[in-house]
Chain A
Amino acid sequence: EAGVAQSPRYKIIEKRQSVAFWCNPISGHATLYWYQQILGQGPKLLIQFQNNGVVDDSQLPKDRFSAERLKGVDSTLKIQPAKLEDSAVYLCASSPPTGGTDTQYFGPGTRLTVL
């Protein structure tokens, strides 16, 4: 079974520029998550989708971050404008639609460097 796909793998931008990341979850997984992982720390949840609806975006900096999952499959995460402190790895994960506590499977991440 194919895993979670993410692109690009690396991105370098100047502060105040915009950037977008793409995620394709494991086939059939209804729940999709975006995490931010700052170097030396554990992943922190930014937003969680169930199909195309938002379940939890309480830790998403909504003044600059946005995410969508229009057709309930692929998802994009956008940062506009980027700040230096946004430098991190952005991880996408998915879990199956069985409800309750389900194992989350992670993609390889996109490493963002903001200069």
Chain B
Amino acid sequence: GESVGLHLPTLSVQEGDNSIINCAYSNSASDYFIWYKQESGKGPQFIIDIRSNMDKRQGQRVTVLLNKTVKHLSLQIAATQPGDSAVYFCAENYGGATNKLIFGTGTLLAVQP
């Protein structure tokens, strides 16, 4: 399959290590944030979300941290597996009735066996 990772920041990790993917968002009024995973040739897949009244949320092997002071979001993946290799996007929701998402640039996660 062709890559969606051209010109993207890349994070290379060893299988079994923890991964941390960072994202800076733009709008201090955004109140909802989502991490998506996109594998080559597929659409973005929802991973985890967090609302602005929280600073941490945990899922299965994933944790999202939100720092509203510096407008920073991070995705932590525990015990990274080869199947985690993909491009990861953060998206912010500006709020209001339109549910409009603004996506970041994306980070390519490459898991080395």
Contacts and interface: CB of A to CB of B under 8 A. Distances in A.
Nearest to B106: A42
Interface of A is mostly: loop
Nearest to B45: A106
Q: Which 7 A-B pairs have the closest CB atoms?
A: A42-B103, A106-B43, A101-B32, A40-B7, A40-B6, A106-B44, A108-B43
B103 A40 contact: no
A70 interface: no
B55 to A, nearest CB: 17
Contacts of B44: 43, 91, 106
Nearest to B5: A40
Interface of A: 4, 31, 37, 39-45, 48, 55-56, 91, 93, 95, 99-109
Nearest to A3: B43
A72 B32 CA distance: 26
B95 A101 contact: yes
Given A39-B6, A55-B98, A56-B100, A107 B43 contact: yes
Nearest to B46: A103
A40 B107 CA distance: 10
Interface string B1-42: 000111110000000000000000000000110101000011
A98 to B, nearest CB: 10
Nearest to B52: A101
Nearest to B44: A106
Nearest to B8: A40
